[in-house]
Structure 1
């Protein structure tokens, strides 16, 4: 998301359509996203992604059907859907960074990478904290894409907290255990949020 924001920063209306198109995955229903990626991940040579791999000399991959690549495939789907949301927040944060600092760093001979490291990232500290918390919460509660693409398989390679709670509570009818897992998930999310907030406040002090 930060990379996309840096590429589109300051482009104004020239990339207005590109920004809108990049944000499209966020507004598309997750069920549609999962079905789209299921088609793209088709494990045969005729699958969309496997056809692209064949063009560069790689053999077909099982993607979500292979325990070695299934979790990475789901992560790729999550990145594709979540990065545009982060991009828009980063763009809002970049608008608040003092432009004079960039000019001063440029005069001092700082490279593009050095300006990002010493000006951009410190200026985005508050935004990074918020996005870290949101990303951690999304990671803890990820469910729909896993459930629709793999349902925790193959061989349990893509089981996550939410799928385990779902299977315990609804499929195995162990409602008490499932409810306890949901409460523990809530407490973990709360502790993570409070911990990051305290760490950020201490850093500001």
Structure 2
């Protein structure tokens, strides 16, 4: 399941974050790439030793983790890794899939928090492949795309401008993506019922089933 979180960060928060990033120290993105990804990764990453790095990472982690849509759809156990990246003229990240384990934790979901408005850079789309098609994404600054870590994806070359983004990886409480989708659909249905009719017998039964499935599937 792929989903977007519009306006996760306000324009003011995005502007403040970009200001800090513009003054930060950057390193070659290959330093954190696996042996097979180094051949296709050409970007820059925020130096983890930069004084503002940990504060920025925690801002993204906490804002994402507490968002209700993220909670309902991702069922997060932990956001275990967050990195900031920068793409300028000619930089790209070719077709790859994310590592199953990062920092000792399982990667079930990946996310990209866009920090540059689409009109400020040409190219640089995030492309996620499906079984028989692919979808390109260039979301407004402050919006997030969440997608399966197991998917093949890439960042097309930036032709002009600068593309800023934060990327992260999530270990879910529910390992199986199909089960996460079932829980999300049930939760969405019961919330819709509650908003229309209040706490009915049908709402109670769906809530009971939802909670019982979580008990069976949670890790």
TM-score normalized with structure 1 length: 0.32
Greater share of helix residues, 1 or 2?
1
Greater share of strand residues, 1 or 2?
2
For the pair shown, which has the larger CA radius of gyration, 1 or 2? 1
Q: Which has the higher contact order (CA 8 A, sep 6+)?
A: 2
